Structure 1
Amino acid sequence: MKHLTVAALATTFATEAMATEWNVSVWGSRRAFTEHIHKLADLVAEKTNGEFTMNISYGGLSKNTENLDGISIGAFEMAQFCAGYHADKNRAITVLELPFLGVRNLDEEVAVSHAIYAHPAVAEEMAQWNAKMLMTSPMPQYNLVGTGNPRDKLAEFDGMRVRATGGIGKAFTAVGAVPTSVTSSEAYQAMESGVVDTVAFAQHAHLSFGTINQATWWTENLNPGTVNCPVVVNIDAYEALTDAERAALDSSVDEAIAYYLENYGELLKKWDSILAEKGVKKVVISDEQLAEFKKVGGEPIHKAWIADMTAQGLPAQELYDLVFSTLGKVRAGN
C-alpha cells in the first residue's frame, strides 16, 4: 500500500512538473491597453487544456521602465514595455515613435508595428536582451489634455510643460515646449502638482491614469504621433515550450489583437460622451497650424533619426521605408 502511495505521489509531481506557468509583467491597472494580453492568456490556457497558463502582474514583478531588464535576466517570461522608456535599448523600433508618420488608425498601427518587429535588425537588437517580439499594443494618435486656457496655436506651445516621450517629445521640443518623460503612472500627480501643464496620451490612458479628471481641454486633432509598446517573451522560456505550447501561443496572437481592436473601438465610440460628462472642452487645431507643426516637428526629426541610427550601424533608411511601404500595402488592400 505504501509503495502505491509513493507511486501515486510521483505521478502527481510528474504531472504538475509538466504544466507551464509564465509570469507576465505589466503596469497600472487592467485597461484597454492590456486586454490583448488577457485574451492571449485565455486562448493559450484553452488550447492547452490548462497546461500552459499566464500569471499577469500589474507592477508586482517590476517597474514599467525595467521590464526589458527583467526579461533579459529571466525574472519573468513575458512583459510589455514602451520604446520611449529606454530608447537606447530598442533603437530600431523607435522608428515607429517618429512624429507625424501619418498612420490613420489602429489597423494601420498594427500592420506597421508587426512589419518592423519582423525585420532582422529588430530581432537581433532584441536578442541582446534575450527578448523576442510577440505582438504590439496598438494605440491611436496621442493628443493633449491640459489645464488653464486652451492652446490651439503653436506659439502657445512655447514654454508649455508637457508629459511626452519619444518622438512626440522631440516634436514638442521643436516648437518650444518643455517635455518631461515621467511614467504614465506618475502623469496624474505631475499634472495635479503643476509639474506639467499638459499630458500627451492616447484616450485609454487619459482615462485609466486619471489625467482627464484634471483637464479642462483636449486637442481633438493634433495627432503628433503615438508611442510603440511591444509585448515580448524571454527567448529561453519560449524555446523551452513544447511544440504544442509554442503553437498555442503563436496561433493566438492575431485573435488577441483582433479582440484588442474591437475593445478599443468601443472606447473610442464613447469618447465624446466622456468629454461631455467631465466638462472637457474639445480644441480643434487649424489646418494651417497643423501644417506648420508637421514642417517644424516632423520631417527634420525624421531626417535626424535616419542619420543618427545609420551612424550607429542600424539599417535606418530601410526601417523608415518599411513603415511607408507597409502603409501603402494596407491601403491598397482596403
Structure 2
Amino acid sequence: MKDWLTGTAVAVVVAGIASQAAAVEWNASLWGSRRAFTEHVEKLAEIVNEKSGGDFTINISYGGLSKNTENLDGISIGAFEMAQFCAGYHRDKNPTITVLELPFLGVKTLEEEVAVSNAVYSHPAVVDDLARWNAKLLMPTPMPQYNIVGTGEPLDKLEQFKGMRVRATGGIGEAFRTVGAVPTSVTATEAYQAMESGVVDTVSFAQHAHLSFRTIDEADWWTENLNPGTLNCPVVVNTDAYATLSDEHRQILDDSVSEAIDFYLENYGKLLDRWEEVLAEKEVQKVTISDEELAEFRRIGGEPIQLSWIEDMSAVGLPARELYELVQQTLEETRAK
C-alpha cells in the first residue's frame, strides 16, 4: 500500500510539472496606449487565453519593452515574442512590405487593406525578407487612408503645400514632397509635441491616431478626402517562439487571427462613425480638395513614386513589379467577390 501511495504521489507531481511546462507566456511590444489601432492584439490575447484555458497568455506592453522604431530589432533577438511595427519607420529593414505604403494604390476600405496585406505577407520574398529579423508576419493592422490636420488657414490647393512641414512617413511623405512640402518622420508619440511646438505645420494620420495622439486637439482643419495612402503596420511573432509552441497552442494562435481581425474591423468602423461628431465637438473645419487638385496630386505624387519604387527595389534583387501587381490583382479579385 505504501509503495502504491508513493507511486501515486510521484505521478501527481510529474503531472503537475508537465502541466506547468505546457503553460506559455508571451510578451507583446506595442506603443502609445490602448486604442483602435491595437484592438486586434488585445482581442487576440483574450481569445488565445480563453481557448487555451489560461495555458497560453500574451502580456501586452505599451512602450515598456521597446521603442516603436526598435520593435523589429527586439523580435530579432527574442527580447519579446510578439510586436507591432510600421514599415515606414525603417524602410531598409523591411523593403518588401513598403509596397503597401506606396501612395495612391487605390485601396478604399479596411477590408481591402486586409486583403492586400495578407496577399503580400504570404509572398515568398516577403517571408524571406522578414525572416532576416527572425520574424513571422502574423496579421495586418488595417488603417484607412491618411489625411492631414493643420492650424491656421485651411489648405485646399496643392500650391499651398509648398514649404509645408508635414509629419508623414513612407510613401505618403514622398507624395507630399512632390508638391513642395517638407515631410518629417517624427514618430506617432512625438507628433503632438511637434505640432504644438511648431516643428511641423500639419500631421498626417488615420483617424484613430489623430484622436489617440491628440493632434486633433491642436487642429483647426482636417482634409476629408486627400487620401494619399496609409502606413502598413503588421503584427509579427518571433519565429523561434512560434516554432516551440505545442501543436495545440500554435493552432489556437493561428485560428484566432481572423476572429481578432473581424473584431478590429467592427471596432474601427464604430470609430469612423463617431468621427463626424468629434470634428463638430472640437470645431475642426472639414476641407474638401477638388477633383482637379486630387487628379494632379495623383499624377505627380502617385505613379512616378510607384515606378521609382519598382526600379529601386528591382535593382537590389527584389521582385518589386511582381509585388506591386499582386496588390492590384488582389484589389480586383476582392472587389469582384
Q: TM-score range by the shorter chain?
A: over 0.9
CA distance in 1, matches of 2:257, 2:9: 42
Alignment partner, residue 75 of structure 1: 79
Quick one: distance in 1 between partners of 2:6 and 2:121?
56
Quick one: which of 270, 277, 283 aligns to 1:273? 277
The one-letter amino acid paired with 2:40 is: H
- Please say if 1:255 is aligned against 2:254: no
Distance between the aligned counterparts of 2:302 and 2:90, measured in 1?
21
The separation in 2 between residues aligned to 1:112 and 1:49, in whole angstroms, is 33
In the alignment, does 2:242 pair up with 1:242?
A: no
CA–CA distance in structure 1, aligned partners of residues 127 and 326 of structure 2: 15
Partner of 1:171: 175
Write the distance in 2 (CA, Å) between the matches of 1:81 and 1:134: 12
Gaps spanning 5+ residues in structure 2: where? none
Aligned with 1:118 (options 109, 118, 122):
122
Name the residue aligned to 1:221. Answer: 225
CA offsets per residue over residues 265-316 of structure 1, 9 Å max, x none? 0000010110000010000000000001001100100000000000010000
Alpha-carbon distance, 1:2 to partner: 11
**1:190-219 alpha-carbon deviations (Å, 9 max, x no partner):** 000000000000000000000000000000
1:137 has 2:141 as partner: yes
Match of 1:128 in 2: 132
Please state whether the residue corresponding to 1:100 is helix, strand or coil.
coil
Distance 1:125 1:200 in 2: 27
2:63 to 28, 37, 59: 59
* Equivalence map 1:70-219=2 (5 Å): 70-219=74-223
1:18 shift after superposition: 1.7
Percent identity over the alignment is: 70
RMSD: 1.5
Structure 1 CA distance for aligned equivalents of residues 12 and 121 of structure 2? 47
Displacement after TM superposition at 1:77 (Å): 0.3
Q: TM-score, normalised by structure 2?
A: 0.96
Shift of 1:17: 2.3
Q: Distance in 1 between matches of 2:15 and 2:259?
A: 35
3-state SS of paired residue (1:222): coil
Quote the offset at 1:264 in angstroms: 0.1
- State TM-score, norm by structure 1: 0.97
In the alignment, what sits opposite 2:309?
A: 305
Q: Paired residues, what number?
A: 333
**Any gaps of 5 or more consecutive residues in structure 1?**
none
1:45, distance to aligned residue in structure 2 (A):
1.1
Distance in 1 of aligned mates of 2:192 and 2:13: 52
Q: Give, as a single letter, the amino acid of the residue that structure 1 aligns with 2:220.
A: T
CA distance in 1, matches of 2:7, 2:182: 73
